[in-house]
Amino acid sequence: MSRRPPFTLNLCLPSAATYTQTALYEDRHMIIIRPRDLRGRAQEGWLDSRHTFSFGHYYDPTQMGFRSLRVINEDRVIPGAGFPPHGHQDMEIISYVLEGALEHKDSTGTSSVIRPGEIQRMSAGTGIRHSEYNHSKREKVHFLQIWILPEKNGIAPGYEQRAFPAEEVQGKLRLVAARDGRDGSVTLHQDVDLHVARLAAGNTVNFDLRPGRYAWVQIARGQASLNGDLLKEGDGAAISAEKRIELAGETAAEVLLFDLA
């Protein structure tokens, strides 16, 4: 029998000015690592969730997001369980599955299953309700849920899902989400480019950061070095005032790179 636990969301949302600049991530810093062990954590019988930034009952005024990036939650859900229908508004929500399969339904009538190699973008806009369940009755699902503040409020709710073949992300950075939806990426309502790379041990990829841009690197799996600093699975890093980002696989690794205004 599917487990449908009570679900409440107590998200701490300060004023918009807080998102773009916190004391921890001031412009004078170049790379600040957010260690995985310092993330918030929510544990239920059906859910193990780690929060890079303040979310739900985890609140840290120095961890309210970075630029327009507001939430990175790493969730593991047992078979048959998940988040029952709940509402969102004025947020770009990305689901990125690492293992297993995530079943999605929302109030626009969309129903889908998201698997590794696919990315889903849901624009909450004026208001949307959705549910997310582990599609399997035997295996866990492990995924990242990412929230990005939209460039304006009140847009129409929307949904988009794309698959990216393994060869397009292996050993290279592949654009998977962007404001203009270029190169086959999903479209975001914000000036953010999200790139994904899977690296074998010894693989190196480089990314040139344009003047006035910022970046966030999240290690989804494995270990990789960022400009010489070792990052492990679950670690993140805020990047400012760097011209070039070099990511090198220390083990097999999966890396997300956000290019932010």
pLDDT tens digit string along 151-174?
999 999 999 999 999 999 999 999
Does residue 205 surpass a pLDDT of 50?
Answer: yes
DSSP assigned state of 153? S
Return the SS3 of 147.
Answer: strand
Determine the Cα–Cα distance for residues 231 and 186; give it in Å rounded to an integer: 27
Q: Name the β-bridge partners of 222.
A: none
Q: How many CB atoms lie within 10 A of CB 156?
A: 9
| Whether the Cβ atoms of residue 242 and residue 227 lie closer than 8 Å to each other | yes
pLDDT of residue 212: 95
Query: Is the pLDDT reported for residue 48 higher than 80?
Result: yes
Q: Decide if domain 21-260 falls under CATH 2.60.120.10.
A: yes
Q: What is the mean pLDDT of residues 2-13?
A: 40
* C-alpha span between 54 and 117 (Å, rounded): 27
pLDDT-based confidence at residue 24 (cuts at 50, 70, 90): low
pTM: 0.90
Check: CB of residue 259 under 8 Å from CB of residue 195.
yes
Mean pLDDT of the chain: 90
